[in-house]
Structure 1
Amino acid sequence: MHNNSTITTQKELTYSAIDLLKKLIETPSFSSEEDKTANLLAFWCEAHDIKFNRNNNNIWAVNTHFDDTKPTLLLNSHHDTVYPNKGYTKNPHKAIVEDGKLYGLGSNDAGGCLVSLLATFTYFYNQPDLSYNLVFVGSAEEESSGPNGLNSMLSIIPKIDVAIVGEPTQMQLAIAEKGLVVFDAKVKGTPSHAAHPNNDNPIYKTINVLEWFKNYSFDKTSEVLGDVKMTVTQINAGKQHNAVPSVVDLVVDVRVNDKYTNQEIADILKANAPCDEIVPRSLRLNSSSINKNHELVQAGIALGRKTYGSPTLSDQSVLSCESIKLGPGDSTRSHTADEFIYIDEIKEGIDIYIKLLEKVLKS
């Protein structure tokens, strides 16, 4: 430990982090409306003598002994939430502790991860001679994939070499994550009155198109993420019972493994899908992965952590560097009614984050 008066013990940081999470829960922070939770993160930094910056509702900081000659490790999680669903029996904006569980909107996704990473960053903030620089970003607009989230910070913060993205993984190592591309497709035909013959009814033509989407498989399988998963999720056509429409609109959801870029998926579908049009809405939510031999992954494995591939999307999708997804909580609780995280999960999360980084930063 160091003689700096601002260094606090892991135990003190843990209790402060749990207290911060309660305040975050009781401060509504829907995507793009996170200004008050950003204030709470700023207050933490001020209380711990951390020099921080604010861009929109993103709070970020670098460690005291930042050195341009060293690689840089990003610690990131988000402080925005989705809207509470109708099934809540508890007040989603009240931090309620019962039976070791802390209830409240955003407690699990991703408040527990956020406060645990912030406590970890604070623990290492003043320590000299680390083998990586540290950058902390408490980001906005993750749930909405909005324009003012982590993606907007990458040109502002120092260049990142590797990242830990805090999402609930039960403190197991997600070493790859599927990307997402949503396509709008059209099947065109000839409009007519339903009473007249028509061999070019786009609704009937869509039967074969749907079969194609159902049966098509992409060649490359990922060891960690498995196959690319393609699903038709919406279909829309026609306005009245007695008129054949001119077009059927389809929406296709594609979850992309780490063997393809989103652009490659778009090129394959444009070349092969039997539609008249197929257009991606966005290509920026790419898959992500990290080499299993990376020292971060190996340090986690040495601590008894398992590795796996994640089917769900996070802020990893906007990073171009290697990254892992790791955090306290359980992703199956995210976006559910009466969302909660166990207090002990936060304690364990901070403990494992610190032990993991001790192995990497002190090597």
Structure 2
Amino acid sequence: MRIERLTNDAIALLKQLIEIPSFSSEEDKTALQIEKWFQNYELEYQRTQNNVWAINKYFDKDKPTLLLNSHHDTVKPNRGYTKDPFKALVEDGKLFGLGSNDAGGCLVSLLATFAYFYNQKDLKYNLVIVASAEEESSGQNGLNSMLSVIPKVDVAIVGEPTLMQLAIAEKGLVVFDAKVSGTPGHAAHPNNNNAIYNTIEVLKWFESYQFEKSSESLGDVKMTVTQINAGKQHNAIPAEVDLVIDVRVNDQYSNQEISDILQQESPCASIVPRSLRLNSSSIPVSHELVQSGISLGRKTYGSPTLSDQSVLSCPSLKLGPGDSTRSHTADEFIYLQEIEEGIDLYIKLLQQVIK
């Protein structure tokens, strides 16, 4: 199959996807558009809720399976947009539009790559592709729901904007709800146990706390207090203060270990994780996927941002066209050349591994 045609069709598909609103859990219309793309290439596929997926034509259950994955949901556009977020506009080699960079460019590039290998015989790996939903919201009906549906996965490439560099590790995420307690009372009377004042020392603790284990690729665990809430009226001292703490976990800890440490050591009245399922992820530098990328001039690094890698239990590599710093920004865009180079590099990387 000609790479030039695949590239042109991938860009055309991305333009179509940009112009279809697809907020998390509302991706039914973009899923339909992706189905049409499979139909146009005469590729057998299935749809599970808003996830569209397929396996290569000569799938062999005795071979290991490589997952290609990216998502077609988006965040909502912010107020800084000066261009229509749902209008695919090309200016100076840039394709503007919501979801163009995160992660539409990656998705259509992986779809093109899958189509390139779909009909090829005697591959060393099976291929399965999932155009997944609900990545931006870490929803229950996204890639995590597909792992019991698709064939068992041995290794994965997750398409997110990395400038086509090799993100060999990714931080996990745990969000905690915490409480600082005190004695409620009238503001006019003395109170030596004001929950709001007690929070000052608690905030200092979170600001200065350091987890012992650092990671070569991901650095330190990063813990940040992101929300604080207390009180309902001006003349009443509240009984407690609510905090939200965002913890980005390196590959030296499981999310459960982070939770255990904070529950034992933090000076809060209570601290409870919302979920422990979004763990850190990684792939050994020695893995043939990584070595293939390095041979093509790609560099390795650790990613601080969360993706669908967090729900995978197998080794996974984050790799894709576009730049993560453009994600969720106003007037989001991706360079057309990035998509062209992305498809070319995906194919070259896989040729060295699965052929």
1:238 is aligned to 231
Map residues 193-232 of structure 1 onto 2, 5 A cutoff.
193-232=186-225
* 1:155 and 2:148 are equivalent in the alignment: yes
Query: 1:120-170: CA deviations, max 9, x gaps?
Result: 000000101111000000001111111111011000000001000000000
- Alpha-carbon distance between aligned partners in 2 of 1:207 and 1:127, rounded to the nearest angstrom: 63
| Residue in structure 1 matching 2:341, options 348, 355, 361 | 348
> Which residue number corresponds to residue 160 of structure 2?
167
2:181 maps to 1:178: no
**Which position in structure 1 is the counterpart of 2:43?**
50
1:86 matched to 2:70: no
Aligned length: 355
Aligned-partner Cα distance in 2 for 1:337–1:198:
47
- The aligned amino acid for 2:337 is D
> In the alignment, is residue 190 of structure 1 matched against residue 183 of structure 2?
yes
Equivalent residue number for residue 137 of structure 2: 144
3-state SS, counterpart of residue 183 of structure 1: strand
Q: Return the offset for 1:305.
A: 0.3
State how far apart, in whole Å, the 2-side matches of 1:283 and 1:250 are.
18
Aligned partners of 1:17 and 1:303: how far apart in 2?
A: 23
Give runs of ≥4 in structure 1 deviating > 3 Å: none
Alignment of 1:75 with 2:58, yes or no, is no
Distance 2:244 2:278 in 1: 17
Query: 3-state SS of the aligned residue for 2:227?
Result: strand
> Could you tell me which amino acid in structure 2 is paired with residue 287 of structure 1?
S
Tell me how far apart the structure 2 counterparts of residues 338 and 208 of structure 1 sit (CA, whole Å): 41
Kindly provide the CA deviation profile for residues 169-209 of structure 1, in whole angstroms up to 9, marking residues without a partner as x. 00000000011111010111111112222222112221221
In structure 2, C-alpha distance between the alignment counterparts of 1:204 and 1:26, rounded to whole Å: 50
Is structure 2 residue 266 aligned with structure 1 residue 273?
yes
After TM superposition, the score normalised by the length of structure 2 is 0.99
Work out whether 1:100 is the aligned partner of 2:109.
no
Aligned mate of 2:352, from 318, 336, 359: 359
Tell me how far apart the structure 2 counterparts of residues 306 and 168 of structure 1 sit (CA, whole Å).
Answer: 14
Corresponding residue for residue 4 of structure 1? none
User: Which residue, out of 312, 325, 329, partners 1:319?
Assistant: 312
Amino acid in the other structure paired with 2:254: T
Query: Residue 245 of structure 2: which of 241, 252, 259 is its match?
Result: 252
SS at match of 1:348: helix
Distance 1:250 1:149 in 2: 28
Distance 1:80 1:249 in 2: 31
The aligned residue for residue 330 of structure 1 is 323
Deviation at 1:347, TM superposition (A): 0.4
Q: Structure 2 CA distance, aligned partners of 1:315 and 1:24?
A: 20
Q: State, as a whole percentage, how many aligned pairs show the same letter.
A: 75
Q: Displacement, 1:241?
A: 2.2
Matched with 2:120 is: 127
What CA distance in whole angstroms lies between the structure 2 residues aligned with 1:306 and 1:274? 41
More displaced 10-residue stretch of structure 1: 203-212 or 176-185: 203-212
Where in structure 2 are there 5+ consecutive unaligned residues?
none
Equivalent of residue 262 in structure 1, options 251, 255, 258: 255
Rounded Cα–Cα distance in structure 2 between residues aligned with 1:225 and 1:203: 34
Amino acid at match of 1:186: K
SS at structure 2 position matched to 1:285: coil
Q: Supply the AA of the counterpart residue of 1:46.
A: Q
Gaps of 5+ in 1: 1-7
- Is 1:15 the equivalent of 2:29? no
Q: Larger deviation: 195-204 or 25-34?
A: 195-204
Structure 1 distance, partners of 2:81, 2:204, is 39
Normalised TM-score (structure 1): 0.97
In 2, the alpha carbon distance for the partners of 1:75 and 1:82 equals 22
Amino acid at match of 1:258: D
For 2:350 and 2:118, the matched residues in 1 are separated by 12
